[in-house]
Amino acid sequence: MAVVTQVLGSEWTKIKSVRSTVWTLGVALVVTVALGVLISALVNNEYDRMSVRDRLVFDPTYVSFTGMGLGQLALIVFGVLVVTNEYSTGMIRTSLAAVPQRGIFLFCKIAIAGALALAVGMVTSFLTFFAGQAVLDGHRASIGDPGVARAVVGGGLYMTLIAVFSMGVAAMLRGPMLALGILMPFFFLISNILATVSATEKIAEYLPDKAGQKVMQVVLTDDTSPYGPWGGFGIMLLWVAAALAGGYAVLKKRDA
């Protein structure tokens, strides 16, 4: 237990001493809230011109989270940098010499970084919701409405899991450019393309981002979806677990 406490302290020191990792969390918060407010304002102005069908499926909570797609970019960068910084500088050799138990080393790194991502994710999600609803005026939702609190808390958890998933992938690939070169196109290009093509849209439903975002929806418009909000969150958890297991397998097998 004493070893774990010491390693946790060491990992905390590493993260806060690298400004780039701290700044990415701030960027995630600012971008997500700012875009959420902007898009909520635009939607509010267009609401009266919406069709009857669009008004029936209007989800004010999810509208305020529309900036989450771009905000997660910063969280992906955060997750990758947390893991790969030591490989880039060669400090990984010193770290593994000091902590030869590689499972403990990786667990402590993920725990500290994940806790930071969770704190920032929750603050971001609640700020985004309240700021977005403020500009939606008469079309807004209340935190006490059915499903809204779940969606807001789910938004914070989604941001956390995006960061942790990126850490697992980065642990497997060990290089920042390679990890970002795979994760960025995956989340911002491949996932969206698969979701818009009829032949592959069912596959896209089981990708981590598409499944995880379900937890942020209050008004569920797709009756054919094979899972609900927490079912989608569970699918994302499986992706994260697989990424972490892969990262641990590579770390245990390969030399620094």
Q: Are 47 and 137 in contact, with CB atoms under 8 Å apart?
A: no
Percent of the chain with pLDDT over 90: 58
How many other CB atoms sit within 10 Å of the CB of residue 208? 23
pLDDT tier at 256, thresholds 50, 70, 90? low
Q: For residue 223, what pLDDT is reported? A: 64
Over the stretch 95-116, which tens digit does the pLDDT of each residue have? 888 888 888 999 999 999 999 9
CA distance 25 to 117: 7
Mean pLDDT of 7-23: 84
Q: For residue 219, what pLDDT is reported? A: 86
Over the stretch 204-231, which tens digit does the pLDDT of each residue have? 899 999 999 999 999 877 667 788 899 9
CA distance 208 to 195: 12
End-to-end CA distance of the chain: 25
Q: pLDDT at residue 203 above 70?
A: yes
Q: For residue 1, what pLDDT is reported? A: 67
Q: For residue 76, what pLDDT is reported? A: 95
Where are any strands of DSSP class E within 137-250?
Answer: none
Domain positions in the chain are 2-253
Q: pLDDT at residue 86 above 90?
A: no
R_g of the chain computed on alpha carbons: 19
CA distance 227 to 237: 14
Q: For residue 158, what pLDDT is reported? A: 97
Q: For residue 254, what pLDDT is reported? A: 79
CA distance 61 to 42: 14
